[in-house]
Amino acid sequence: STLDVVNGVKKVLQTARAAAPAGMSINQLFDQSVFVTAAITGVLREGAIAAALTAGMILLFLGSWRSTVVVMISIPLAILSSLVVLYFLGHTLNTMTLGGLALAVGILVDDSTVTIENTHRLRGEEGMPLPQATLHGAAGIAVPTLISTLAISCVFTSVIFLEGPAKYLFTPLGLAVVFAMLASYALSRTLTPITIGLLLKGERHDEASRRGLFARFHAVFERRFEDFRHTYTALLTALLRHPVILPGVALVVLGLGATLFMLVGRDFFPPIDGGQIQLHVRAPPATRIERTEQIFQAVENKIREIIPESERELIVDNIGLPARAYNLAFTDGSTIGINDGVILVALKEGHAPTADYVRKLRQALPAAFPEDIFYFQAADMVTQILNFGLPAQIDVRTVGYARKNNLRVARELERRLAAIPGIVDAHLQQEVNAPDFFATIDRTRAAQLGLNATQIANNINISLSSSVQVSPNFWTDPTSGIPYYLAVQTPERDVSSIDELVSTPVTTGVSTAGDPVPGMLANVATLKRDSVPTNANQTNIQPVYEVYAAVQGRDLGTIANAINGVVADLQKQLAPGNSIQVVGQIESMNAAFRDLAIGLVFAAVFVYLLMVVNYQNFADPFVVILALPATFAGIVTMLYITGTTLSVPSLMGAIMAVGVASANSILLVTFAREQQLAGMSAFEAAVMAGHTRIRPVLM
């Protein structure tokens, strides 16, 4: 895991510091594990808050601390059971698995809550002794709670259909919920009745036990709740006598939900504030590295003006590419030359929102340095994972071999994307116009002097880029055993003009004494100015021109729709066999939403068929399903009110809400069916079900 790797590196750093020469300090600059630890701590804290609120609600409704203890025992046991299964499946403790367990905390107590509430009802309302009440309380709701638990588990089967990054992120979350739910049901059928029998045996219900402060408070609450229940029952009776009202209200609610759904917006994942900024700076093509360094220093000074020192911990520059043959396979490929680089900014704890500083920098830097290109990359590891290796949220690329026309279309694509409200940092990633000198070799003259193109090119490379580029040589320090490059190169001060450049010596043969005869580059080649691409990219061996962009102030779904319109228009200008592709988070988001939609359809079918088997008819399950559109309306309403977009994490919460709504409906319909089989009319059974089950449903 991330923490294991980082902790291992820190141990190595301790050894390195101990072995370092006196006066040398070795410091870590950036540590993503801090974010991981903070995220896990946050999830654990939210889970604890959820458990505390759940316990408070049980205590409020049942007025028995013993009953609260009975129910709360099931939470850690169910979570631990889920973790055991996740361990054997190869998953780790991370924000996704812990997030799934935190999401499930409220519903984990559902089975035990319904069991103990049913036991309390049988003891209080029907006067059963504790052993019989415990037995009948557990047995009476065994089937409906099994169906509801399986229903919640079924809706999470939708994550099985996910692919790509979303699969690896959210499948562990769904598995954590399902395993915890199944463990919760098993505990509610076994451990909960036993603990009820043990703990409630000593519970007193005499006059003395009702004199405490909480006992008096709960008595008042019970009276108020009974008043509320009678009012609800009367309202339910009235609505059932006028069956036209509820369908009308339902249509209004669904219409409102459908309207708000169009306004909520879509995102792949909510923005994350990791307290770090990664700014990519690109100077004009062919800028010398010492001039690039000066530009970066000026940009740093501007950053210091915007981000106060009290909130700024560290600024680090990474400029250019290494001249040696390093393996760059694991970089994002966004740095293309010595005029290019990244500025990393770390903020201190308690800083203002990182997005606010990014917004200010986006306005200030292009105005202060109009000749340079600026764009922000993901600094936190979660967004980097979500980008799936790309340095930007959005990547719109032209693909194909018609390079000239594709480049023209890509420039137009860049212009149009930059004009879309909400899109920022739109730029063409490929640098296609770097100034360069081309040497045109006079091959006849070169042949007369005994030269070929390879020899001439090697002479130029050795002079300008050192002999390391042609024939690397090493000298090994006998003391340390470290090898160093041994290179020959013309001093830069001696090639500061065209005349000096064409005076570069080239070997032109052998003298009578056997020594090489030097000539000049001017004897065999002419130089001319031109432009050349600095970098070239391919996908599936086809050339691409990529326009990178990010989103600010709008949801990704709305931006994606606008981009699709631009792409559809420009696609017509491409030659046959060439295309425009939209990748990045847009592609991942569309795939995740599509896969989840397919999964939810299958889950709905599974839940319906499960209830058909249980009820032995097709009508009762349809009643349960009718509650789900209202759940959907409630979800989008709360998302709209809180300014939250519909993302994959909020969809996970929505899936849980669908499962809970199904469980509540199953609890109600099952009780109504039992009352109807006992001789009540459908009307009386519906009213009785609402009256009896209002407490566990509210809890």
% of the chain beyond a pLDDT of 90: 29
- Which one is predicted more confidently, 106 or 387? 387
- Which pLDDT band, with edges at 50, 70 and 90, does 571 fall under? very high
Q: Identify the pLDDT of residue 515.
A: 65
Neighbouring C-beta atoms of residue 644, cutoff 10 Å: 16
Average pLDDT over residues 359-369: 94
Q: Is the pLDDT of residue 299 over 90?
A: yes
Q: Identify the pLDDT of residue 308.
A: 92
Q: What is the DSSP letter of 483?
A: E
Q: Identify the pLDDT of residue 184.
A: 85
Q: Identify the pLDDT of residue 685.
A: 92
Average pLDDT over residues 102-115: 75
CA dihedral sign, ordered 387, 388, 392, 397: negative
- Which one is predicted more confidently, 518 or 221? 221
pTM of the model: 0.79
Q: Identify the pLDDT of residue 319.
A: 92
CA distance 33 to 581: 34
Q: What is the DSSP letter of 508?
A: E
- Which pLDDT band, with edges at 50, 70 and 90, does 663 fall under? confident
- Which one is predicted more confidently, 490 or 30? 490
| Bridging pattern class, strands 505-510 and 516-520 | antiparallel
Q: Identify the pLDDT of residue 227.
A: 93
Q: Identify the pLDDT of residue 195.
A: 83
Average pLDDT over residues 224-232: 92
- Of 37-46, 406-415, 497-506, 584-593, the one with minimum mean pLDDT is 37-46
What is the distance, to the nearest Å, from the Cα of residue 167 to the centroid of all Cα atoms in its chain?
A: 11
Model confidence pLDDT, tens digit, residues 55-76: 888 888 877 788 788 878 888 8
Please say whether the beta carbons of 26 and 20 come within 8 A: yes
- Which residue from 26, 44, 37 is spatially nearest to 4, judged by alpha carbons? 37
- Of 376-380, 497-501, 538-542, 603-607, the one with minimum mean pLDDT is 603-607
Average pLDDT over residues 549-560: 91
| 373 SS3 class | strand
Q: Is the pLDDT of residue 396 over 90?
A: yes
- Which one is predicted more confidently, 74 or 569? 569
- Which residue from 304, 336, 265, 186 is spatially nearest to 647, judged by alpha carbons? 265
- Which residue from 321, 315, 328, 320 is spatially nearest to 283, judged by alpha carbons? 320
- Which pLDDT band, with edges at 50, 70 and 90, does 509 fall under? low
% of the chain beyond a pLDDT of 70: 95
Q: Identify the pLDDT of residue 512.
A: 54
Q: Identify the pLDDT of residue 207.
A: 56
Q: Identify the pLDDT of residue 203.
A: 65
Q: Is the pLDDT of residue 205 over 60?
A: no
Greatest Cα pair distance in the chain? 126
Please say whether the beta carbons of 664 and 110 come within 8 A: no
- Which one is predicted more confidently, 138 or 341? 341
Helices (H), 63-129: 65-88, 95-108, 110-125
| 313 SS3 class | strand
Q: Identify the pLDDT of residue 297.
A: 96
Specify the DSSP element, H or E, that contains 547. Answer: strand 542-551
Average pLDDT over residues 569-588: 91
- Of 60-69, 202-211, 280-289, 564-573, the one with minimum mean pLDDT is 202-211
Q: Identify the pLDDT of residue 325.
A: 64
Average pLDDT over residues 511-532: 78
Q: What is the DSSP letter of 387?
A: T
What residue has token string 């820190």? Answer: 10
Average pLDDT over residues 32-39: 78
Please say whether the beta carbons of 455 and 506 come within 8 A: yes
- Of 141-155, 519-533, 564-578, the one with minimum mean pLDDT is 141-155
What is the distance, to the nearest Å, from the Cα of residue 537 to the centroid of all Cα atoms in its chain?
A: 27
CA distance 264 to 644: 7
Q: Identify the pLDDT of residue 212.
A: 67
Please say whether the beta carbons of 260 and 410 come within 8 A: no
Q: Identify the pLDDT of residue 401.
A: 93
